[in-house]
Amino acid sequence: MVKLTVTFLGTSSAAPSKSRGLPAVAIQREGDLLIMDCGEGVQRQVLEQGLGLNRDTTILITHLHGDHVTGLLGLLQTMSLAQRRKEVVLVAPPALFDWLRLTSELLHIGLTFQIRFVPAKRGLVLRTQHFDVTATRADHSIEAFCYIVREHDRPGVFFPEKARALGVPEGKLWSRLQGGRKVTIGGRTIAPGLVVGRRRPGRTIGYSGDTRPSKRLSKFFFGVDLLIFDSTFASKDSDKALERKHSTAREAAALAKECHAKKLVLTHFSARYKNVGNLVKEAKAVFPATTAAADGLSIQVDYPEE
């Protein structure tokens, strides 16, 4: 099984605490690395978690509040100091690109690699070798986006006994059929559907960034295997969540339940809470498959059938 790992690099909200850095989440699949948001100091967490600075890297930024972007320039500079040559793909609201160009010039930061800018928008934003990235608008105080990282479907289950019954010898022809290509034996054409089951869905990870819950987001995140959602406040501070366009842990759980997510991870906790146990308790009362993120926590995302 190809591992799909989610590692939390920063799990606080606007202000860091002794145990929580500013928002950043890493997704790894083989040599691919996706980073969701880049809070201040993210490059140190990337190094500490052994994620590497020369992988195929895509960075997804949800919005232009400082706690989600101030680590971006430092991460790119650290990659350059490591003599990175591979292109970095950067998906973000368009205004971020102007900010990045200006600050790079003012601070005389020359990069050793190219950045491919992709403006965030509703719908399909990016297709990589292993993933499709889609986005929708968040309900926040400024322009902001939520993302789904959707792994490409896998071939169906291969049935060796059916292949043998049709006279297909084991080896390259089996591989062709597994890859969805027809083969010809003795003048007969054998289609993959005769020996391979239906394609199997890949894994999906939803990431909210900062947002209020909404029906639109419930529809957008429907059926994701892992939902990472804004849980800045406890229910007792719901007035602050409403005013500042964030969510409570209970609201995150209600959305996870409504969208039939498989698992929910709460994150982006206000530094006012020294212990987030009460937030987790509130959420689990609504959606039991809930856990709290912590800096350095890694989660394996299983295939749906597993």
Question: Does residue 67 carry a catalytic annotation?
Answer: yes
Q: 3-state DSSP call for residue 245?
A: coil
Nearest by Cα to 147 from 67, 44, 254, 37: 37
Q: 3-state DSSP call for residue 77?
A: helix
Residues 6 or more apart in contact with residue 223 via CB below 8 angstroms: 204, 259, 260, 261
3-state helix, strand, coil in the chain (%, to 5): 25, 30, 45
- Strand-pair partners of 227: 206, 264
Q: Which of 32, 56, 67, 153 is catalytic?
A: 67
Provide the strand spans (E) within 152-233: 183-185, 188-190, 204-207, 226-230
Q: 3-state DSSP call for residue 197?
A: coil
Whole-angstrom distance, CA of residue 188 vs CA of residue 166: 10
Token pair 């054998």: residue: 190
Q: What is the dihedral of CA 68, 69, 70, 74, to 10 degrees?
A: 120
First to last CA, the chain: 11
Q: Which residues participate in catalysis according to the annotation?
A: 67
